[in-house]
Amino acid sequence: MTEIIRPTIDEYFLKIASVVAERATCRRHHVGAVAVRDKHILSTGYNGAPAGAKDCLELGCLRDELKIPSGTRHEICRGIHAEQNAIIQASLHGVSLEDSTIYCTHSPCVLCAKMLVNARIKRYVTFGKYADDSFMSLFKDAGITFEAEGRPSAKINFLD
């Protein structure tokens, strides 16, 4: 008999965030975010250009052209971050993110962290590290729990 390997809830939603990241249009990082409350997905987001705008896959990376290091000068980018898109999608559909958990493939930049504080999330779970860690003191002050987990297996387990 085959042993059934069931992921934990955190692994489950981190895997989903990884699949969401596959839609990203950034040439530097593919980032996916999933907002969850009570084991229910509220919204998702990935990093890329605004809806209807040309993206970096088509135009190239402006930040690379200008040699801007990761984690700096966020305003010089065509893309919207995954967490920002998750917040935007929730608001477009009238869904509050209050007391939710954000599962994301990377830790947040400070701009996303500010938005997440105002969205009143309670927990942020990730397996990846972004170049900017200035969000930590902001999360601490806001009472947001931050958890860095191991990267979940990319393998999907099916029963035959």
Among all residues, which ones are annotated catalytic?
83
Q: Mind giving me the DSSP string for 17-79?
A: HHHHHTT---SS---EEEEEETTEEEEEEE-BSPTTS--HHHH--HHHHTTPPTTS-TTS-S-
The two three-digit tokens of residue 120, written as one number: 């009143």
Alpha-carbon span 87 to 83, nearest angstrom:
6
